[in-house]
Amino acid sequence: MNTLALSDKNFLIYLADQVELVPGNGWACLVDGSQIVLSQSMAAHLQLPPHQPMMPSSILRRLQPDNVAAFARKWLTSIASGEQFDAIHRTRFGSIGFRFSSKLLSRTDSPASFWIGTALEIDSALKPEQVGGYSSYAKGIGENAASQKALKDREEQLRLVVGTIPAVVWETETNGKTTFFNRRPGDFPDIVLPATGDPKEALFTAMRSVIHPDDQAQLQEAMERSYRTGDGWQARYRRRSDSGYRWLEGRTTPLLDDKGNLVRWYGIGIDVEDEVRAREQYRLAQEDLERVTQIASLAELSASIAHEISQPLASAAVGADACVRWLSAEPPNIQKAKLSAAGVHRDTELAAEIVSRVRAMFQLGEGHKQTCSINTIVSDVCSIFSHGEGARGVLVSKRLDAEEPLVVVDPLQIRQVLMNLLRNASEATAVNDDRARSIDVQTSTRGQQVLVSVEDRGPGISELTKIFEPFYTTKDSGMGVGLAISRSMISLHGGTIWAENTGEGARVTFSLQRMNTNS
């Protein structure tokens, strides 16, 4: 038996919407009459739940019992023949009678055909023999005209609503043929479909005529994937308007029949130009603020260095002046001049020491190197990261070289590099909405080099050549020195570090010299 709610919720939602659009008390039925859906008003008269599929017997039990069998036969005859159904009957819950009328709505795709009907209330003053049980009726010309006018008015109202909403709305068949498009001038110029035998190619050609060239490939790929899989698509793209190009967000949803077969596509495109511009302005403001913060930090650091170094230099200047005066005396006081010169030497040594300390803050020493297993270092860092706050629900998977390569390194510095790469990868995957947040860490060998790579599933890196530069960052916070320090650490070990986009994210790899175990 053909079912509704159990097999296709989309079609049930569609019928529930349709019955509310029918003048009077709307109702709809599957093409074989097996399931009926009632509007809010019709359900209230029959004291049944609205918008829920139910058997015809549930309706018949709500009607007056006299001649209900004839009513049912009339209905079954219409179901079998496809002819329009017309009848009058009363319900059990009042004296008001109803004029039931329904016709089969045939579509190009027969699985989606269904009966759509209305039940108009009849004046309770009608004679019982006219309404009491069951009687067919012939429509009067005036009544038919009024009903048709109501339907046309309702249709015109719906077209007005769809045509005036600030969005592009369209409908296509399964083969891509456009059956509806609300044309809007100005912000949304008309799309002209070229004459071609392939509806999909006609749609793609029209799309390419109004979509920004940089967005055409990804939009067409999303549409083709939907046609293959039957899933809706969602994408942001730029569309031509009278004032240039504007950003739109488009999305589609499929309409399925009760057997799960694709019936047609419905789509909508919403103008998001203002939102995109606001986000861009916010991003630029954040970058400006970050630069100001960096400048302020450098200014504060410079002031601190100047304060530290000014004291011994000032003392040296005083000592040098005293030395000159002692030597210029008559006779020259050589002993005191020597003491002053010794003070100058002491003060300049102190200034040099301060400069050395400042340089040490920004320069990395070679540290304490030892023979280590790179697999052990990677395993330890991944374990710490996975159990710490940095993971944030990210799955870290390891693929370790089976040869257990050995390296001579400062393990603390290599751990710092790897931990920094894991944090960056975790933050990159935070933008994922529908993809799993995962990081792959791999060790391998290539000749006498040991390679360690960290790969994420984020959006990729927009400027690969800049990410290792000091103070360059794509984050909303931070000074942008993490990768620069990592590069310095790897360089101290005689290795290199580089980044690349994989198409599904980004991969950062560094190399170290493999320890020769044969000698």
For the segment 432-447, the average pLDDT, to the nearest whole number, is: 82
Measured distance between the N- and C-terminal CA atoms of the chain, rounded to whole angstroms = 80
509 and 384 fall within a common domain: yes
**Domain at 377, CATH number:** 3.30.565.10
For the segment 336-355, the average pLDDT, to the nearest whole number, is: 82
CB neighbour list of residue 245: distance below 8 Å, 6 or more residues apart: 212, 238, 239
145 and 234 fall within a common domain: no
- Better-scored residue on pLDDT, 394 or 125: 394
Given a cut of 90, is residue 376 above it in pLDDT? yes
Cα angle 317-323-327, degrees, rounded to a multiple of 5: 150
Of 346, 362, 378, the residue at which a domain comes to its end is 362
Torsion-angle region of residue 367: left (phi > 0), alpha (psi -120 to 50) or beta? left
pLDDT band with cut points at 50, 70 and 90 for residue 495: very high
Given a cut of 80, is residue 252 above it in pLDDT? yes
- Better-scored residue on pLDDT, 363 or 34: 34
Q: What interhelical angle do 374-387 and 411-429 show, nearest 10?
A: 50
Of the segments 238-242, 444-448, 464-468, which one has the largest average pLDDT value? 444-448
257 and 240 fall within a common domain: yes
Domain that holds residue 467: 370-513
pTM: 0.35
pLDDT band with cut points at 50, 70 and 90 for residue 451: very high
Pick from 1-10, 27-36, 241-250, 408-417: least confident = 1-10
126 and 210 fall within a common domain: no
209 and 264 fall within a common domain: yes
pLDDT band with cut points at 50, 70 and 90 for residue 48: very high
For the segment 76-86, the average pLDDT, to the nearest whole number, is: 86
* 283 falls within a domain: no
20 and 138 fall within a common domain: yes
* Total domain count, the chain: 4
79 and 103 fall within a common domain: yes
**Domain at 133, CATH number:** 3.30.450.20
* 4 falls within a domain: no
For the segment 2-13, the average pLDDT, to the nearest whole number, is: 57
- Better-scored residue on pLDDT, 8 or 16: 16
Of 127, 155, 183, the residue at which a domain comes to its end is 155
pLDDT band with cut points at 50, 70 and 90 for residue 125: very low
* 345 falls within a domain: yes
pLDDT of residue 32: 83
Q: In this structure, what are the phi and psi dihedrals at residue 250, rounded to the nearest 5 degrees?
A: -105, 150
388 and 353 fall within a common domain: no
pLDDT of residue 514: 93
* 3 falls within a domain: no
Given a cut of 50, is residue 186 above it in pLDDT? no
Nearest CA to 238 out of 221, 213, 206, 274 is that of 213
The strands making up 36-38's β-sheet, listed across from edge to edge, are 36-38, 25-30, 114-122, 97-105, 85-90
Average pLDDT, the chain: 77
For the segment 341-352, the average pLDDT, to the nearest whole number, is: 82
Q: Provide the 10 A C-beta neighbour count for residue 97.
A: 24
124 and 255 fall within a common domain: no
402 and 429 fall within a common domain: yes
pLDDT band with cut points at 50, 70 and 90 for residue 65: confident
* 277 falls within a domain: no
Torsion-angle region of residue 506: left (phi > 0), alpha (psi -120 to 50) or beta? beta
- Tell me, what amino acid is at 153? D
Of 155, 188, 216, the residue at which a domain comes to its end is 155
312 and 419 fall within a common domain: no
266 and 322 fall within a common domain: no
Given a cut of 60, is residue 195 above it in pLDDT? no
For the segment 235-245, the average pLDDT, to the nearest whole number, is: 82
* 33 falls within a domain: yes
